[in-house]
């Protein structure tokens, strides 16, 4: 049977190995998922969302696919859209004579390594044969940094109530 001193040494060594393993875990996790470069990421996140709005405004399906993640989905107009269904919905509205204007205002961006989320007020309008209606939406998006750029994984849009 080992002496009390030997048991204490073994416990101390075991505890030291355990602590070293726990301390090194965040390094192993961050090495597995590359982080976005740190400078200017807020501006790049806002730019990615602006690119999505521009792609939808100009019916640019190729650009829409480039900026969205393969598993992209959105909640908009009271519906769930996956993949390119949101782009198809907007193109359909364009074909019926509707035109949209969108702008990102009051953005708040949060970046955590290769994930970012943004909330903003989208101030714009919808125009058709009956005229132009100013509309604002509360929107948010979740993005992932892959292949050296931000890709939108999820978008949520809710129309703001009209003010009297």
Neighbouring residues of 134: CB distance < 8 A, sequence distance ≥ 6: 123, 124, 125
pLDDT the model gives residue 9: 44
Average confidence (pLDDT) over 135-154: 96
Query: Class of 41-159 per CATH?
Result: alpha beta
Average confidence (pLDDT) over 46-74: 97
Q: Which residue has the higher pLDDT, 99 or 7?
A: 99
Q: Retrieve residue 108's tokens.
A: 């708040």
Residue 31 C-alpha from the chain's centroid: 21
- CA 101, CA 137: separation in Å to the nearest integer? 11
pLDDT the model gives residue 32: 46
- CA 92, CA 109: separation in Å to the nearest integer? 31
Average confidence (pLDDT) over 132-156: 96
Q: Is 123 in contact with 136 (CB distance < 8 Å)?
A: yes
Cα distances (angstroms) measured from residue 123 to each of 76, 107, 152: 15, 12, 20
Question: In the chain, how many H helices and how many E strands?
Answer: 4, 7
Give the least confident one: 22-36, 59-73, 91-105, 132-146: 22-36
Q: Retrieve residue 144's tokens.
A: 């992932």
SS3 for 164?
coil
pLDDT the model gives residue 13: 42
pLDDT the model gives residue 33: 54
SS3 for 99?
strand
Q: Which residue has the higher pLDDT, 4 or 145?
A: 145
pLDDT in tens, 6-57: 544 455 444 344 344 444 444 444 444 568 677 799 999 999 999 999 999 9
Give the least confident one: 29-38, 42-51, 82-91, 135-144: 29-38
Average confidence (pLDDT) over 142-162: 95
Q: What is the mean pLDDT of the chain?
A: 85
104 burial (CB, 10 Å; 0-12 / 13-18 / 19+) is middle
Q: Which residue has the higher pLDDT, 67 or 10?
A: 67
- CA 81, CA 64: separation in Å to the nearest integer? 13
pLDDT the model gives residue 28: 43
């Amino acid at each position: 049977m080992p002496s009390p001193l030997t048991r204490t040494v073994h416990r101390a060594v075991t505890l030291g190995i355990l602590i070293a393993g726990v301390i090194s875990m965040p390094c192993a996790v961050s090495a597995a998922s590359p982080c976005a470069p740190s400078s200017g990421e807020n501006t790049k996140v806002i730019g990615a969302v602006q690119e999505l709005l521009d792609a939808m405004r100009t019916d640019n399906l190729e650009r829409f696919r480039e900026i969205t993640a393969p598993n992209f989905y959105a909640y908009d107009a009271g519906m769930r859209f996956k993949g390119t269904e949101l782009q198809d919905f907007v193109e359909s509205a364009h074909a019926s004579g509707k035109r949209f204007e969108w702008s990102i205002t009051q953005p708040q961006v949060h970046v955590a390594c290769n994930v970012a989320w943004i909330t903003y007020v989208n101030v714009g309008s919808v125009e058709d044969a009956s005229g132009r209606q100013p509309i604002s939406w509360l929107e948010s998006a979740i993005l992932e940094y892959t292949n050296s750029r931000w890709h939108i994984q999820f978008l949520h849009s809710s129309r703001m109530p009209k003010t009297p």
